[in-house]
Amino acid sequence: METLKEHTSPDYKADPKYRFYQGNHVESHLYEGIQPSEFYDKLENVLASQKSAFKINIALGYDLVSRTDESETRYFHPNLSNTSVFRSPVAINSKADIPKKAIAEIRSMELADKLNYPKSGYLVKAITGFKIFIYQRDHALGDSKAVIPKVMRDNKSVQRRTTSASFTVSRTTSKRVQKGIRAESKHW
């Protein structure tokens, strides 16, 4: 019974290396003291658990070692102002965006280059933590197999881009006469 009370308490943490915060529009997942090999697994698990569209940014935590005295180390906590992976949060609108926009982009980076530290006296020992910031958005996470409705495809104010299968709304304010009917487009 005592174990049950402990596990159902709001202060219980299953993994001592993990902390979670959820606000109205932002949630954060903090992992500290992990191995670099665990980074992508943890990131993929967090991103796969999302149910609505979101924006993501990641801050890195790291250990520095002194150039003169190897026993002197410093730990820097994950902080968006100093160690964010992306300059601004990246929008994830569909499940297909997760591997393309987030995972592949991060794998192609040299994460140590994202660290802001006093280079003169210290060296990076290891990246030992990260914090995932997820900014919730108000619409559902799209499916990459979604089809644009015929009404949208046939609408004269919606133009298809030639480089991709996406559509944009024309931003004209001119008046047109088409088939004897005067049509006025709205100003956006």
| pLDDT of 107 over the 80 cut | yes
Residue-level pLDDT at 10: 53
Report the first-to-last Cα separation within the chain, whole angstroms. 62
Q: Residue 71 in 3-state DSSP?
A: coil
Greater confidence (28 vs 138) lies with 28
Q: How far apart, in whole angstroms, are the C-alpha atoms of residue 170 and residue 160?
A: 10
Task: Provide the 10 A C-beta neighbour count for residue 63.
Answer: 16
Give the chain's length: 188
Over the stretch 145-167, which tens digit does the pLDDT of each residue have? 666 777 777 777 766 554 444 44
pLDDT attached to residue 126: 87
- Nearest CA-CA partner of 83 in 101, 51, 58, 110: 58
Q: Report whether pLDDT(169) > 50.
A: no
Condensed to tens digits (0 to 9), the pLDDT of residues 48-105 reads 888 888 899 999 888 888 889 989 988 888 888 888 888 888 888 888 888 888 888 8
Average pLDDT of the chain is: 74
**How much is the pLDDT for 58?**
92
- Provide CB contacts within 8 A for 95, sequence distance 6+: 141, 142, 143, 144
Given a contact cutoff of 8 angstroms between Cβ atoms, the answer to whether 54 and 83 are in contact is no
Q: What pLDDT band is residue 187 in, cutting at 50, 70 and 90?
A: very low
Q: What is the pTM of this model?
A: 0.62
pLDDT of residue 35: 83
Three-state secondary structure call for residue 146: coil
**Tokens 């609108």 belong to residue:** 93
Residues 6+ apart with CB under 8 A from 24: none
* SS3 label, residue 20: strand
What pLDDT does residue 114 have? 72
> For residue 176, what are its two tokens?
């047109």
d(CA 118, CA 172): 52
Quote the tokens at residue 10.
């709001």
Q: Is 6 left (phi over 0), alpha (psi -120 to 50) or beta?
A: alpha
On the question of pLDDT at 15 being above 70, the answer is no
Q: What gap in Å lies between CA 25 and CA 82, rounded to an integer?
A: 22
Q: What is the pLDDT at residue 56? A: 92
DSSP helix/strand/coil, 26: strand
- pLDDT of res. 173: 34
